[in-house]
Amino acid sequence: MDISRREFTKFGCRIIIGAAAGATIVESIATMGAAQVESPNKDYDWNEHLWGYVVDTRKCIGCGRCANACKLENEVPFDEPVYRTWIERYRVTREGNEETVKIDSPNGGIDGFIEDIPAKEIKKAFYVPKICNHCDNPPCVQVCPVGATYMTEDGVVLVDYEYCIGCRYCIQGCPYGARYFNIEKGTADKCTWCYHRITKGLLPACVQACPVGARKFGDLKDPESEINKILDKERINVLKADLGTKPKVYYVGLDREVR
């Protein structure tokens, strides 16, 4: 079944529903909802890459530049509470033997964080940048009823804004809260790893903006890439591994409190 989804729509209108259903079953299962079947631009072959992302939580200082850069780069509605990437702050305090964890992410961390707990009460504190995991087994793609959200050959999970019906099932299906509803488009929306940049050899805006190198991006297919070096050397974790989503955002120094 080598026809694109859009051609298929036209085709589907013409033939009887029964035949359409039969053919669609094959197409739909075979492609896992790939809305596009070709590389996005001519000089770029998406079969040559498999992108991955590393977050070193030990380095993050919670400045929020990444989240800010993302909103600007991707025209994410600036004043709405919607984020393609955000930074969480974890603070563990102890009183006697009782430990409490306070987590926050005011405005996604874009404006930085305020110190509202006296430093001497804090036992441990750290920041955790979050972003779509571009899961290798993405539940968001699985649940989309029309296949408007799909994975590219180079491993990036995208939304086809021309196709999405805006049912928001994918937002429910993502275990990480990585998706949001874009009111302007009437569709689901999410991080693209700056697909428009990476296919031109640039870094995602968040990676570019991070002043301490807490965010790394690269090609998993290239053994010499920086992220492969980190994956070889460090002890790595992913978020909610038990859900079987197979994230491609790898964390160094992930605390057990982080979900």
Partner 1 sequence: MVAEDLIWGYIYPNEIEIQWSILIVLYPYITGLVAGAFIASSLYHVFGKQEIKPVARFALLTALAFLLVATLPLVTHLGNPLRGIEIMFTPHLTSAMSGFGYIYSFYLIIVVLEIWLSFREDIVKNALKFKGWKKLMYSSLALFSYDISEKALHSDEKFARKLAIIGIPSAAFLHGYVGFIFGGIKANPWWSTPLMPIIFLMSAIVSGIALLILLYITASWLRKKVLNYKTLFSLAHYLWIFLILDVTLELLEIISMKYESLEEIEIIDRLLSEKIATTFYGVQLTMGIFIPFVLLILVMVMKNREKLKTLMIAVSSIFVVIGVFAMRWNVVIGGQEISKSLSGTNTYVPVFFSQEGVLPALIIMILPFIILTVLTYILPPWKDMET
Give me the residues that bind ligand SF4 (CB under 6 A), please: 132-135, 138-140, 143-144, 146, 148-149, 157, 159, 164-170, 174, 176, 178-179, 187-188, 190, 245
Contact 67, 130 (CB under 8 A): no
Q: C-beta of 230: minimal distance to partner 1 in Å?
A: 26
**Which residue number, 168 or 229, has a Cβ lying nearer to partner 1?**
168
First to last CA, the chain: 39
Write the CA distances from 178 to 13, 85, 134, 136, 170, integer angstroms.
Answer: 34, 8, 10, 15, 10
The listed partner (partner 1, ligand SF4, none) that binds 133, CB under 5 to 8 Å by sort, is ligand SF4
Q: C-beta of 4: minimal distance to partner 1 in Å?
A: 11
Q: C-beta of 17: minimal distance to partner 1 in Å?
A: 7
Q: C-beta of 131: minimal distance to ligand SF4 in Å?
A: 8
Q: C-beta of 176: minimal distance to ligand SF4 in Å?
A: 4
* Residues between 185 and 224 that touch partner 1 (CB under 8 A): 185-188
**Which residue number, 63 or 88, has a Cβ lying nearer to ligand SF4?**
88
Q: Which residues bind partner 1 (CB under 8 A)?
A: 5, 8-9, 12-13, 17, 20-21, 24-25, 28-29, 32-33, 81-83, 86, 88, 101-105, 107-108, 130, 139, 141-147, 163-169, 171-181, 185-188, 243-244, 259
